[in-house]
Structure 1
Amino acid sequence: MRAMAYETYGGTEVLTETRLPLPKLAPGELLVRVKCASVNPVDWKIMAGGLDPLMDVVYPVVPGWDVAGTVERVGIDTPEFAVGDEVMAYARKDYVHGGTFAEYVSVPVRAAAAKPASLSWQEAAGLPLAGLTAYQLLTRLATGKDDTVLIHGAAGGVGSFGVQIARALGARVIGTASPRNHDRLRELGCEPVEYGEGLVDRVRALAPDGVTVAADFVGGVLDVTRAVLAEGGRHASIADPAVLGAGGQWMWVRPDAEGLAELGRLADAGQLKVTVAKTFPLAQLAEAFELSQTGRTAGKIVLEV
């Protein structure tokens, strides 16, 4: 199969288009023919060695954790799916090796869900990792209809899902973003505020009694969270372990078939939209990574295989 891979840590210069054997299929796994796979910052951070203290690496590495495609073959004991099913997955495994930037990828059943009928292949590929990150953080904080939620980084890939999911859970949402993104956030049901100096006052003007939930998707905002959190409020971060010393939770997204299926249900109900910023062919993964590294895309970057 065709795949993009690397044999050593580094920048985009270590990526090469190559030919690799089809992945082996363990019990409880699916072989998925990749239609689309989306880029997340973690992909190029792993390639640069950023997660070396946490995860074992087996070279050659095919990067990528998000995928949408069709089931080509099923492993032993996979009654949930059949050949030809359209699926999406956050296909992270326990070590770094066979990812989604290839023609085929093996996917544990625990990570896969049916592709929503309302989403294109590109949109479905952009949903799993970022959508699950927002969903798991907000549900772990028991977000509901009585909450006022502050989302740090509301216009980002995870943050924009967080806005929509919090609204679907019935909460009021305030979100930090640069002014150029405020109209888009209002369309998603968010009350936008500009980040930077004076942010605490701007949030307090909208929520004088404080926010009951704070979701940090950017890092470096713990002081703001503490200043605007209501008594008894809950908060968590995906980017700042310092929250652990401040009564919050530090989270890392987990593969979760049930959660992903719920995101699919929200999409089909019209409560969750996926914005695709740009698509690339598989061979242009380096260019896709470089665009991701700018941090300036309003939506998902997707590879079409």
Structure 2
Amino acid sequence: MKAITYEEFGPAADVLSITEMPVPSPAPGEVLVRVHASGINPSDVKLRGGARPGAVMAYPLVIPHSDGAGVIEAVGQGVDAARVGQRVWIWNGQWQRAFGTGAEYIALPSEQAVWLPEGTSFAEGACLGIPALTAWYALFGDGPIEGKTVLVTGGAGTVGRYACQMAALGGARVTTTVSSEEKAAHSGASDWINYRTDDVTEAVLDMTQGAGVDRIVEVDFAANQAASLALIRPGGTIASYASASQMRPELDFYGFMFKNIRLDMLIVYQLDAATRRKGEAQLNQWLDQGALSHAVVPAGGLEDAVAAHQLVEAGQKLGTVVLEV
């Protein structure tokens, strides 16, 4: 099979290559998936670039990408043979594993290949594992949000766009922050604030008649901490999945404490099994109903991996970069 591989950290053009490798065999409890689409997330390109402090190659050779979608072609011992032929979406394909979805085939634990409804394309399925599940967990990780007011920062991002949709589907009032009218339209939220031209705190307080919000889905904890503290209601939740502007921000502990705030620092890779099953079921219900829209950025095939990684790194795309396999 053809696979995208790298043997050392570095720029995409220097370390990525297309390699011929044997098709893997599913071990007990595993399935073999013929990959049709491989999603590329910022975490994938950061990992390949060695961006984490003290990063070392965990494996001598890596096939990148955690998200993907395809069809089960074989099953290992202990897996129901009826799953052969099933369309699936994949999560954690390359989390603590050497070989991810950037190849024609992947063998992985059966629970990591989730039924994909017929109305959802493989390219759309390749957007679910990290962006969509992160959005779901940030919103519903501690219960229903019906009747709540939710602020999604960065609503044009891959997680933010899903969060805007899911908050509305969950019965919440949703407001988002964006940097342009184009990104506002992309987010799909009817209430939005241009953080480049408007005072976000003032605008949200005006929208909520001074009450603030019950929950914040946060794309950059450090950059937005002051606004978050001003806007979150007592007893509210800030669910943050990144803090790129400052990886070790100084926390205004007493400010949050005296509002009895819950701070959720979340990473979707570490979801416990029971919570993940709830998320998968909810996502698939919405998919089956045609309730979610997806922002797929087509980027070619496996041979276009270098350009695709560079596209993600440039940060200008609107949606998830996907390779067709």
Same fold (TM over 0.5): yes
Is 1:271 the equivalent of 2:272? Answer: no
State whether residues 23 and 105 of structure 2, in contact with CA within 8 Å, keep that contact through their aligned partners in structure 1.
yes
Map 1:53-68 → 2, pairs under 5 A: 57-68=58-69
Q: What is aligned with 2:323?
A: 303
Residues 280 and 94 of structure 1: CA distance in aligned 2, closer, same or farther (over 3 Å): closer
What amino acid is the match of 1:137?
A: A
Spell out structure 1 runs of 4+ moving beyond 6 A: none
Query: Separation in 2 of the partners of 1:81 and 1:133?
Result: 30
Unmatched tracts of structure 1, length 5 or more: none
Which residue of 2 is the match for residue 287 of structure 1?
307
Shift of 1:72: 1.1
The structural deviation recorded for 1:113 is 1.2
Query: Does residue 1:193 correspond to 2:193, yes or no?
Result: yes
Task: Please say if 1:210 is aligned against 2:212.
Answer: yes
What fraction of aligned residue pairs are identical, expressed as a percent?
Answer: 31
Q: CA RMSD in A?
A: 2.1
SS in 2 for 1:183: helix
Relative to the length of structure 1, the TM-score reads 0.92
Q: When the two structures are aligned, how many residues end up with a matched partner?
A: 303
1:297 shift after superposition: 1.1
In 1, distance between residues paired with 2:229 and 2:215?
11
1:73-222 equivalent positions in 2, closer than 5 A: 73-79=74-80, 82-92=83-93, 95-179=96-180, 180-185=182-187, 188-196=188-196, 198-207=199-208, 208-219=210-221, 220-222=223-225
Q: Indicate the SS of the match to 1:60.
A: coil
Structure 1 pair 59–182 and aligned structure 2 pair: CA distance change class (3 A): same
TM-score after normalising by structure 2: 0.87
**Whole-Å Cα distance in 2 between the matches of residues 161 and 3 of structure 1?**
29
Aligned residue for 1:161, secondary structure, equals: helix
Distance in 2 between residues matched to 1:172 and 1:80, nearest whole Å: 44
Give the C-alpha shift of residue 80 in structure 1. Answer: 8.4
Q: Who is 2:5 aligned against?
A: 5
Distance change in 2, residues 1:259/1:53 (3 Å): farther
Per-residue deviation, 1:110:
2.5
Distance 1:64 1:93 in 2: 6
Q: Report the Cα distance in structure 2 between the residues aligned to 1:98 and 1:127, rounded to whole angstroms.
A: 19
Q: Residue 250 of structure 1 corresponds to which residue in structure 2?
A: 265
**What SS does structure 1 have at the residue aligned with 2:300?**
strand
Structure 2, unaligned stretches of length 5 or more? 257-261
1:178, CA displacement in angstroms?
1.4
Distance 1:182 1:26, change over 3 A: same
